[in-house]
Structure 1
Amino acid sequence: MKKSTLINAELSYLVATLGHTDEITICDAGLPIPDDVQRIDLALTHGVPSFLETVRVILSESQIEGVVIAEEFAAVSPEHHSALIKELKSEEECTGKSIEIHYVSHEEFKVRTQSSCAVVRTGECTPYANVIFQAGVVF
């Protein structure tokens, strides 16, 4: 049995196969997912698993060098946005590597998900609780 934090087989495989600059999207329960992008659906019920729980697990297993966030997230859901930024800052401190943050409109965000290796759907029901992670390198 796998010993580390991430035990979901699909997510573990996704993280293990990411190359430098590959992107994955972690989204709330309502974000439209393009038909031609792999969907990893974790949603069980409203709020389970949460967006932030899922972010923490992905960060524990992968090196991230950039994120894309919808501009609307900070305005509409400021508490969740602040919590995400705090997680990213904590990750920077732990790894000693910076994480570049890019803001785009929600419409641009949805278009950008089409380039993701996969979209991970959570049970989160907070508006705009979505992020695109760009893979970095550990060396």
Structure 2
Amino acid sequence: MLKGIHPAISPELLKILAEMGHGDEIVLSDAHFPAHQLHHRVLRADGIPMSTLLTAITPLFEFDSYVDAPLIMMRAVEGDNLDPEVEKRYLKAIQHALQQQSAVQNLPKLARIDRFAFYERAKQAYAIVVTGECAKYGNIILKKGVTPLSMV
């Protein structure tokens, strides 16, 4: 275990986050997401809630400031319901982590895209992390930005 690294961050996930370049995306998926069907680089974080993983990743991750929304979630399929508490919980975890580190970053904006557009984006992502999240539409994509020299 390393000091300053949240215990929810596995060695493999830490390696993936370090390898990612600016503009790369990582999918944090719920437990029901077809990750292995869509991608060859799948990490498991079974049993870890999404909010815990977001709290753990945020201090290590610079969100892309050159796009409108570096956070992307899936829009509900027509006729289905979306629980707004899921998005609120995720944003609260990110905000809490940013405040804890006195970060220069503002809370990143979040956009929603169609289910199949989300799947296509997941195919192009750097990696997919399957979490223990069970919330419906509980998947989120994080787009990595450039870490400022002052943070290095």
TM range (shorter): 0.7 to 0.9
Q: Write out aligned runs for 1:87-106 (5 A).
A: 87-90=93-96, 94-98=102-106, 99-106=108-115
The reply to whether residue 52 of structure 1 matches residue 51 of structure 2 is yes
RMSD of equivalent CA atoms:
2.1
Q: Write out aligned runs for 1:1-139 (5 A).
A: 1-6=1-6, 7-33=9-35, 34-43=37-46, 48-65=47-64, 66-72=70-76, 75-90=81-96, 94-98=102-106, 99-139=108-148
Identity of aligned residues (%): 23
CA pair 79-30 structure 1, distance change in 2 beyond 3 A: same
**Would you tell me which structure has more strand in proportion to its own residues?**
1
Aligned residues: 134
Q: In the TM superposition, what is the alpha-carbon distance from 1:58 to its structure 2 partner? A: 1.2
**Alignment partners' CA distance in 1, 2:51 and 2:27:** 13
The answer for unaligned runs of 5 or more in structure 1 is: none
**Alignment partners' CA distance in 2, 1:19 and 1:133:** 12
CA-to-aligned-CA distance 1:62-86 (integer Å, 9 cap, x gap): 112211111229x522211111122
Q: TM-score, length-normalised on structure 1?
A: 0.84
Q: TM-score, length-normalised on structure 2?
A: 0.77
**Alignment partners' CA distance in 2, 1:100 and 1:81:** 11
Q: Which runs of 4+ in 1 moved over 6 A?
A: none
**Alignment partners' CA distance in 2, 1:26 and 1:68:** 10
